[in-house]
Amino acid sequence: MTQVQLVATETDILKCRSAIQALRPSLTDALYFEAVQRTLADNRQIIFIEDAGQAAAVAVFETGYNLFRGKYIYIDDLSTLPQYRGKGYAGILLDWIFDFAQKEQYEQIHLDSGVNVNRTDAHRLYLNKRFQITSLHFVANV
């Protein structure tokens, strides 16, 4: 049985590096550890599935409350190393987040996903897991 683990130690943070960098390649080795520590200090958690001594898949999510969403979870990152894709690991992580949301009485789970041909499998997974496309996301660099 595949076990979902919560990042709790520096060793866990390092295990997740390759899977996080697969989605965030600009997060170099020199920047990685501090960036993850800052992320965890900002009300976020990281869960992962280990395979062959490394995190094969990871999810980074925050919890919060706001006027629009109520009590919510927002998934910042969901990434599976290329060699482990197709094993269902991302779906297992999403199921874990849904179970956590129900136990802790969160009202909604949100995520954004880039739109390009390389994201088709991810979008299929999100739709299969009951996510709905509800808005466009706008951003302005300053």
Q: Is residue 97 included in any domain, yes or no? A: yes
**How confident is residue 118, by pLDDT bands cut at 50, 70 and 90?**
confident
Distance CA 104, CA 123 (A): 26
Report how many domains make up the chain: 1
Q: Is residue 106 included in any domain, yes or no? A: yes
Q: Is residue 36 included in any domain, yes or no? A: yes
Distance CA 78, CA 33 (A): 18
pLDDT for 22 beyond 90: yes
Mean pLDDT of 108-127: 92
Asked if residue 127 lies in contact with residue 94, where contact means CB atoms within 8 angstroms, the answer is no
Cα angle 11, 13, 19 (rounded to 5 degrees) comes to 120
Distance CA 123, CA 6 (A): 25
Q: Is residue 135 included in any domain, yes or no? A: no
Instruction: List for the chain the helix, strand, coil content (%; round to 5).
Output: 40, 25, 35
pLDDT for 129 beyond 90: yes
Q: Per the structure block, which two tokens stand in for 68?
A: 């629009």
Q: Is residue 87 included in any domain, yes or no? A: yes
pTM: predicted TM-score of the whole model, two decimal places: 0.94
Query: Which residues, 6 or more positions from 122, have their beta carbon under 8 angstroms from its beta carbon?
Result: 78, 90, 113
pLDDT for 1 beyond 80: no
Q: Is residue 136 included in any domain, yes or no? A: no
**How confident is residue 2, by pLDDT bands cut at 50, 70 and 90?**
confident
pLDDT for 8 beyond 90: yes
What's the pLDDT score for residue 24?
Answer: 95
Q: 93: domain CATH number?
A: 3.40.630.30
Range of the domain at 86: 4-128
The predicted-structure confidence for 50-96, as pLDDT tens digits, reads as follows: 999 999 999 999 999 999 999 999 999 999 999 999 999 999 999 99
Query: φ and ψ at 122, to 5 degrees?
Result: -65, -45
Q: Is residue 137 included in any domain, yes or no? A: no
